[in-house]
Structure 1
Amino acid sequence: MKFLCTGAELPDNSSRGFDLDGRKLLAVRRAGQVYVYLNRCPHRGVPLEWRPNEFLDPSASLIQCATHGALFLIESGECVAGPCAGQSLAALESREDEQGIWVEQHR
């Protein structure tokens, strides 16, 4: 497992981007739970964020691709609207402890 950040660096209903060993990742915290995905839209393979660390739609309830507006469920990464509907973001196994958030290195 590789260290991503402290728990305080990812408040509830927020997102952050990371570059971990050359892989671009995004992490979202919702209702106290952390979800980590590869930062790659399944439609065109482009990064998702609008601006650095901004991956969520205006309501902070869905992950949104800045390129085509595709919407993804935070809890599963499934695309529910847009050109890649039915596809999903690639989830990474993660855990959180008193030190912070950790993510599995290999997929």
Structure 2
Amino acid sequence: MRPLIELAQLDDGALGEVQVHVEGHEQSLILHRRGDAVQAWINVCPHAGRRLDWAPGQFLKSSEGHLVCAVHGAAFGLGDGVCVAGPCRGDALRPVAVKVRDGKVWLAAAG
């Protein structure tokens, strides 16, 4: 199994996107780096089922530090993926477990 991305390819605080097989389907994942840790979510807004990026791998971040859906403006907390403003307030992005090992980001299920 290959790593999703090298940690060095994602700046601290940045958002990125990778394609991966999750539960038998090709999925776009949003990655968010915080220091040496990375969080991941399926790149689908719970409001309308569309991708959150405005162009592949290009995400909007509010001045408050929230991830913003490019389609309807829903704002998601980067700590927990919960929608804090917009049409899906209270819903959350679907998390995907990842881990950082040897300077690379892996799906947590990967050996």
TM-score relative to the length of structure 2: 0.84
Cα distance between partner residues in 2 of 1:55 and 1:92? 18
> Unaligned regions of 5+ residues in structure 2, if any?
none
Listed one character per residue, the Cα deviations across residues 72-103 of structure 1 (whole Å, up to 9, x for unaligned) are: 00110000000000000000111101140012
Aligned partners of 1:13 and 1:60 also within 8 Å: no
Q: Cα distance, 1:32 vs. partner?
A: 4.0
Aligned partners of 1:36 and 1:103 also within 8 Å: no
Moved segments of 4+, more than 4 Å: none
Q: Cα distance, 1:58 vs. partner?
A: 4.2
What pairs up with 1:66-81 in 2 under 5 angstroms? 66-81=70-85
Aligned-partner residue type, residue 12 of structure 2: D
> Unaligned regions of 5+ residues in structure 1, if any?
none
State the SS of the aligned residue for 1:8: helix
TM-score relative to the length of structure 1: 0.87
In structure 1, the residue matched to 2:4 is 4
Name the % identity. Answer: 34
Question: Would you say how many aligned residue pairs link Structure 1 and Structure 2?
Answer: 105
